[in-house]
């Protein structure tokens, strides 16, 4: 009977989708420059700055002054340095491929294309506090490759593709991979601490870690970044963050904890791993990756110390109550069947209820009442509803037992009324689970 972000065998609240990021439109061609392939800029025969320019995305789409010869030269030289340091970006494309592949397999297995439910997501590894915090810590990793529908996936991958390629070329593939995973894991733990009873999924924490790293690079590498590019990137990042913040306040399904902490983690990791000779001595960059991993591990441990572990206790108590309820209801129904068949008289039926139903019921109800304070509101409300139901059912059975002892017909009427009240409460619990 007991029934997000689990929808376990009983969800607690609305699935909270990590996502809601606004997509970054691709760069339009610049006035006065020859048109090139999408997302790239022809630099007068000196090469293309596809990653850097397209990552500068959404803020400035209107006509802009033609670049000066000096700006063109700086962009071309910077582009050449990026590509010389990291000729290819395998990590970015691997991450995109994994996200798309996982989504494709889920759709092929029957998960809805547009709006999967929490029940749909949990078997695939979505995060959910009572499961994650009771040993399924791998969900912190797997949830980074799951998305609540095609729109959620496209938004995240659109933002990630260009920014990811630029940061990967700048920091190197090994360090970039460490930064991406670290940001996603730390963001996931932060989300778990804020939304422990929500089903969570999405790459947003890791993607915002990449955005944070890009912001960090604009700070620490400002002297080697062409001014034109730095200005464009800074403006675009500011717009992206402002839009995300505004949308997050309007849409409670957006996991702002994962976004914000992922962003700060990426920024912090970037400041730790950046080398001033990153583009000119790329062979040294991989040695900085352990710094990102170590920082991430420290942040994860720090956040785990403030996780709401009372959620685990509450989940255990709810599961125990559900099991006790099954046993008590089965015993009651079996006794009722025997009484209706004439195998038990009223007194014997009352004695059966008193011996086989009430003791464990009372103990489980008491455990629910004694749950620790400080539960998340949604879980506290669910526990309160369960206590109300358990109280009504217990009172109904106690009235039945009293009738068996005294033969007082008033107790039968009380038993019937309380039983109807309990049935209505259990029905409302089921409806609340569907709404959540």
Active-site residue numbers? 204, 259
Q: Nearest 5°: phi and psi at 307?
A: -65, 145
Calculate ∠ Cα 293-297-299, nearest 5°: 115
**If you write DSSP's letter for every residue of 13-76 in order, what string do you get?**
S----S--PPP-PPPPPPTTS---STT--B-TTS-B-HHHHHHT-TT--S--PPPPHHHHHHHH
End-to-end alpha carbon distance in the chain: 15
Which two tokens mark 260?
């914000």
Calculate ∠ Cα 29-100-118, nearest 5°: 120
Distance CA(204)–CA(19), nearest Å, equals: 6
Q: What share of the chain is helix, strand, coil (3-state, %, to 5)?
A: 70, 0, 30
DSSP 8-state secondary structure symbol assigned to residue 143: G
CB atoms within 10 A of CB 331: 18
Contact 433, 3 (CB under 8 A): yes
């Amino acid at each position: 009977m007991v029934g997000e972000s689990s929808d376990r065998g009983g969800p607690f609240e609305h699935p909270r989708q990590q996502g809601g990021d606004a997509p970054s439109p691709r760069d339009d061609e610049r006035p006065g420059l020859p048109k090139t392939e999408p997302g790239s800029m022809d630099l007068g025969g000196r090469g293309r700055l596809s990653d850097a320019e397209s990552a500068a995305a959404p803020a400035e789409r209107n006509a802009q002054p033609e670049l000066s010869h000096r700006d063109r030269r700086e962009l071309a030289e910077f582009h050449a340095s990026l590509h010389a340091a990291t000729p290819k970006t395998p990590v970015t494309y691997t991450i995109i491929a994994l996200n798309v592949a996982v989504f494709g397999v889920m759709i092929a297995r029957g998960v809805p294309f547009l709006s999967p439910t929490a029940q749909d997501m949990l078997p695939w590894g979505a995060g959910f506090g009572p499961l994650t915090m009771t040993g399924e810590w791998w969900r912190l990793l797997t949830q980074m490759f799951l998305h609540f529908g095609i729109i959620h996936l496209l938004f995240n991958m659109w933002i990630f593709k260009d920014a990811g390629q630029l940061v990967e070329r700048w920091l190197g593939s090994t360090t970039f991979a460490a930064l991406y995973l670290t940001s996603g894991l730390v963001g996931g733990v932060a989300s778990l601490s804020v939304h422990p009873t929500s089903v969570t999924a999405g790459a947003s924490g890791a993607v915002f870690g990449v955005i944070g790293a890009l912001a960090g690079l604009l700070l620490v590498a400002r002297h080697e970044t062409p001014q034109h590019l730095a200005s464009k990137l800074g403006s675009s990042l500011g717009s992206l963050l402002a839009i995300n913040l505004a949308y997050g306040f309007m849409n409670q399904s957006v996991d702002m904890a994962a976004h914000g902490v992922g962003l700060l983690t990426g920024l912090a990791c970037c400041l730790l791993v950046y080398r001033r000779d990153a583009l000119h001595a790329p062979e040294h960059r991989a040695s900085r990756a352990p710094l990102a991993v170590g920082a991430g591990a420290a942040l994860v441990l720090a956040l785990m110390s403030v996780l709401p572990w009372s959620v685990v206790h509450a989940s255990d108590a709810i599961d125990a109550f559900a099991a006790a309820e099954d046993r008590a209801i089965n015993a009651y129904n079996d006794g009722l069947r025997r009484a209706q068949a004439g195998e038990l008289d009223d007194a014997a039926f009352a004695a059966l209820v008193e011996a086989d139903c009430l003791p464990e019921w009372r103990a489980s109800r008491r455990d629910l009442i004694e749950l620790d304070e400080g539960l998340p509101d949604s879980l506290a409300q669910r526990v309160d509803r369960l206590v109300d139901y358990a109280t009504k059912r217990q009172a109904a059975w106690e009235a039945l037992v009293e009738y068996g002892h005294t033969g007082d017909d008033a107790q039968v009427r009380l038993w019937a009324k309380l039983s109807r009240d309990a049935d209505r409460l259990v029905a409302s619990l089921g409806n609340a689970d569907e709404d959540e």
